[in-house]
Chains A and B, each alone.
Chain A
């Protein structure tokens, strides 16, 4: 009967190292590729902002689009899918700023902000009810 040739222990050790390195390399490459894709994908994914909007966290939405100190989303990066979210964020920011200009008695900038808010409303599409919710938040601010 033919028996299997016994492998030298040193070769066996090298084979084990190769198998371990192959698995580790595969995992590293997968993580690297996925991480690179996720980093951009997460920042510019409508799903990310959909969840924020569902929780009514307008401030976080505004922070992501307009107030982020690292990698803010630029106008040219806003895709048609992101536009409604950016408009809600813009509306919240404008509504906040409107209160400041009204207190200052700055008619010019108040008008300008109101016109910007109207543009945001039109771009909100099916998120239009959010504008009323934002108005409600700021209408309650006592001056």
Chain B
């Protein structure tokens, strides 16, 4: 366009003439019209987008999100059921092979091998609470299983004293207390088993329990320094007396050392 003042060539958007410096009134009007058009175009475009809302891309994205959430659910279900499935398989096997497993347990019991008995029970999930069920094929082992479990716990605790590690998370007093608690539990079970057990303990079971009691006495004599005469009357003592006896015996042994 031409400058209305000097007639020089200037752009339609130039607000002032570059040659004479006079204001270009038409440029201002032009810019205002341009702005109005742009605003109107933007409004129309956003209105169109709002109405159509990119329906296809939204659907695809929602589908992807749904698939991802599905994958999450699968991973969570897999991780939680993997353990359950394995446990279920072992337990079913224990029921299916009851006769075979019972023969192995009988053998462990006859040999007085409480460690092997507990190891087998733990590996095949023949826990005390399961053998306690009325219809369990392992019901007859209920009491022996409890006794063997107590005995192995005592053994495991006593091992912590040979050698006693100063970085151990348990103090010597805690270990003796644990031995005392399990010894009390052992004698409690023995008493219940001999008194009124259902079904009554068989001869071989009673023999095995007596053997385990002998082993427990020998363990306490050997590794805790309990006097043999005191060990012989462990059964007659109360829980508190047993605990005191073990604490005194261990203190004396440490003092001697």
Q: Which of A23-41 contact B (CB under 8 A)?
A: 24-25, 28-29, 32, 35-36
CB-defined contacts of A15 to chain B, threshold 8 Å: 61
Residue in A58, A69, A142 with the greatest tally of chain B CB atoms within 10 Å = A69
**CB of A109 closer than 8 Å to a CB of B:** yes
Within 8 A of A (CB), among B70-98: 71-72, 75, 78-79, 82
B interface secondary structure, majority = helix
Which residue of A18, A70, A96 contacts B64 across the interface (Cβ within 8 Å)?
Answer: A18
Are B218 and A21 neighbours in the complex by a CB distance under 8 Å?
no
Nearest chain A residue, comparing its CB with the CB of B82: A36
Q: Which of B78, B123, B152 has the most CB of A within 10 A?
A: B123
Interface size class of A (residues with CB under 8 A): 35 or more
Total A-B pairs, Cβ < 8 A: 104
Interface string of A1-29 (1 = CB under 8 A from B): 00000001011001101100110110011
A105 nearest in chain B by CB position: B218
Main secondary structure of the interface of A (DSSP, over half): helix
CB contact between B112 and one of A14, A92, A99, A109 (< 8 Å): that residue = A109
How many B residues are at the interface, by size bracket? 35 or more
Measured between C-beta atoms, what is the minimum distance from B172 to chain A in Å? Answer: 14
What are the interface flags for B206-243 relative to A under an 8 Å C-beta threshold, 1 for contact and 0 otherwise?
Answer: 00000000110011011101000000000000000000
In-complex Cβ contact of A8 among B54, B119, B225, B253 (8 A): B54
User: In whole Å, how far is B202's beta carbon from the nearest beta carbon of chain A?
Assistant: 22
Do the beta carbons of B219 and A11 come within 8 Å of each other? no
Interface string of B44-86 (1 = CB under 8 A from A): 0000010001100110011011001101100100110010000
**C-alpha gap A6/B103 in the complex (Å):** 77
Q: B58 contacts A14, CB within 8 Å?
A: yes
Nearest residue (CB) in B for A98 is B222
Residues of B within 8 A of A57 (CB): 165
Cα(A102)–Cα(B214), bound, Å: 12
Residues of A within 8 A of B253 (CB): 142
Q: Which residues of A contact B118 (CB under 8 A)?
A: 67, 69
Instruction: Say yes or no: is A59 at the interface (Cβ < 8 Å to chain B).
Output: yes
Stretch at the interface among B7-15, B133-141, B156-164: B156-164
Question: A69-98 vs B: 1/0 string, CB under 8 Å?
Answer: 111101000000000000000001100110
Give A contacts to B, CB under 8 Å: 8, 10-11, 14-15, 17-18, 21-22, 24-25, 28-29, 32, 35-36, 56-59, 62-63, 66-72, 74, 92-93, 96-97, 99-104, 109, 137-138, 141-143
7 CB contacts below 8 A, A to B, read: A18-B65, A25-B68, A32-B79, A67-B152, A71-B122, A103-B218, A142-B253
For the complex of A and B, the 6 pairs showing the least CB-CB separation, nearest first, are A14-B61, A103-B218, A59-B159, A21-B68, A100-B218, A104-B218
